[in-house]
Structure 1
């Protein structure tokens, strides 16, 4: 067969194909939304993607989203998607209606529903709307209780036992007191730690669905060690450097550290933002410190909690220069005046109390 017997390629595959013979373009995915059923204000109980409109919600089995709460009507609401980016809610239930923000809608009413807003159906069933056209938030990193956190928790518990033994030994007034008192102190301490941790774990299960027991154990144990070390550091530093304010106001530092520990617990047990929790805990801390100082002044006429050198430490730890006898005697003059003023105030209070009891 000669070369001329073969047809040209252009005769078999023409240079320009017919448009009707080209592969059809892929169908564009319809714009939809995700209905999120929220429990207890934050916990996501269920998510339903919706691409067919309208969409009905209610207790009847014929609805697109079936809810079981008895305060929900058989067909409670119908969602419409008239055009891209807009959604409308048609209220069908005539008993409980729908709350949108602070406004309540009855049966037959329609209103616009924007993604990110929340609806309340019946006695508290909450729905969120999230459009599929919206970009997804960044994936949150999940940090389970790691091996390093376990080692830190174990080390904190051991250190807590040692600190309890050391403080018990410092406060012992007779031989053998450490062996008798330490077991009871450890029992109360570990029992309190367990009760505290279980309470936060139950709160985490309620609001996030996760107990986080060991995470709360770690937070509590590290916090207890930090508060114990802070108390010891302030007492020793105040004694060594002769700074009375450190020992008198050591409880305020412990209050502040306790507030930080509670903030970490709340971060693990709730889904509230860190800033909101910080503002709430900080406000309660300011109120608590103000109330404590006020009660302290009302009952004892002083702001400080502990008297200076109420706990004696070894004399070798003293770093402040020695005060001469003359300087010490001069300092007793102001002390004598303060004692006389306090004695007079107590005497006046007693006399006022006696007078108020007369008929």
Structure 2
């Protein structure tokens, strides 16, 4: 008997045998990574200095060389605490023979006490060594894109520095009253301008090194120089627009606009020098802006009985820039009468206040 007489034996039997073998061999479960934790040593509240994955329990923390996590702070005992993992996945801290104990949240634990450590709560050992706990089962935060100082930012910084020098030269030229004044005053003005910019950027770089571990010096130079140029140009634009369109309101609040731009610049500096969230920084800067501008306008109203400190047409511009229609003479006279009445009222109020103050002083004598 050959295989040609029974073709089904050769065509079907091999597949059937393989299926039977697959059914007999149990399926291997997928490899599951062991569950553990990561101890994170945090410096200055935000900067991560060290991360130690832990998969063997218990885990000893202290200054001794035999500890699983060795810390060098002198306020920490050789065996300060021991971290346990219970069967239900809880993490317990056993305070060993330590003088200073630990702080977990707002509660202090001394030697011999035990407590449960919930991931997300800071553990403080000794005189301020902070540890954070993160389990391996917790999802990781998305990877952030690293943006180095690019060529475009370098060109923007160079353009802003050149613009600052040109603006300083223009201000010196406009304020010159004698021949040779610009040649004498411009070098010192540029020295103060770029020297102040350098010191400002260095201070922010030191702050970034302290809180993030990176200086980002040229980034701070870019932020400061672009902010200075933007503030100067916006101020000039508001003054020119107020003159051209005959809208005094634009020039009266130019200082408030400058304060708002300064707050924006500070927000960019803080984002580059700290690890605080952008939303938290925005809320803090917005609160600072409201308080600053409100206090400034309140003091301005108290001293001069008007909002805003910029005077309309304090700088005379070329008449060709005037776009507003010409005001008739009768209306101009009426407006001057209204201004005269306001000045007289303010003068009378100041006179009454002086007389009241003199009477109070004489009464005290």
TM-score in terms of structure 1 length: 0.90
Q: Give the whole-Å Cα distance in 2 for the aligned partners of 1:343 and 1:335.
A: 12
Q: Distance in 1 between matches of 2:176 and 2:324?
A: 26
Matches within 5 A, 1:1-359: 29-83=33-87, 85-358=89-362, 359=365
Query: In structure 2, what is the Cα distance between the partners aligned to 1:325 and 1:24?
Result: 98
Distance verdict in 2 for CA 1:345–1:218, change over 3 Å? same
Give, in whole Å, the separation in 2 of the partners of 1:272 and 1:93.
Answer: 36
Over 6 Å off, 4+ runs: 22-27
TM-fit CA distance, 1:135 = 2.5
Deviations 1:254-303 (A, max 9, x none): 11011000000000000000011111111111111111112222222222
Moved more, 81-90 or 252-261: 81-90
CA RMSD of aligned residues (A): 2.4
Question: Secondary structure of the equivalent of 2:132?
Answer: strand
CA 1:255–1:61 in structure 2 vs 1: closer, same or farther (change >3 Å)? same
Q: Secondary structure at the match of 1:199?
A: helix
SS of corresponding position for 1:89: strand
| DSSP-derived class of the 1:117 partner | coil
Q: Deviations over 1:109-164 (max 9, x none)?
A: 22222222221111111101111222222211111111111011001111111122
SS in 2 for 1:220: helix
CA distance in 2, matches of 1:174, 1:341: 41
Q: Distance in 2 between matches of 1:123 and 1:145?
A: 38
For the 8 Å contact 1:255–1:285, the answer to whether it is kept is yes
CA contact (8 A) 1:31 1:84 kept: no
Shift in Å at residue 58 of structure 1? 0.9
CA distance in 2, matches of 1:140, 1:258: 27
Change (3 A) 1:16 1:343: closer
Alpha-carbon distance in 2 for matches of 1:313, 1:16: 96
- Any gaps of 5 or more consecutive residues in structure 2? 1-13
The alpha-carbon deviation at position 180 of structure 1 amounts to 3.0
Where 2:313 maps in the other structure, the secondary structure is coil
What is the number of equivalent residue pairs in this alignment? 346
Q: Is the 8 A contact 2:79 2:98 kept in 1?
A: no
Q: Relative to structure 2, which stretch is displaced further, 314-323 or 233-242?
A: 314-323
Please state whether the residue corresponding to 1:36 is helix, strand or coil.
strand
- 2:5 aligned partner: none
- Return the alpha-carbon distance in structure 2 between the equivalents of residues 110 and 81 of structure 1: 13
2:156 aligned counterpart, secondary structure: helix
Q: Is the 8 A contact 1:204 1:269 kept in 2?
A: yes
**Residue 259 of structure 1: SS of its match in structure 2?**
helix
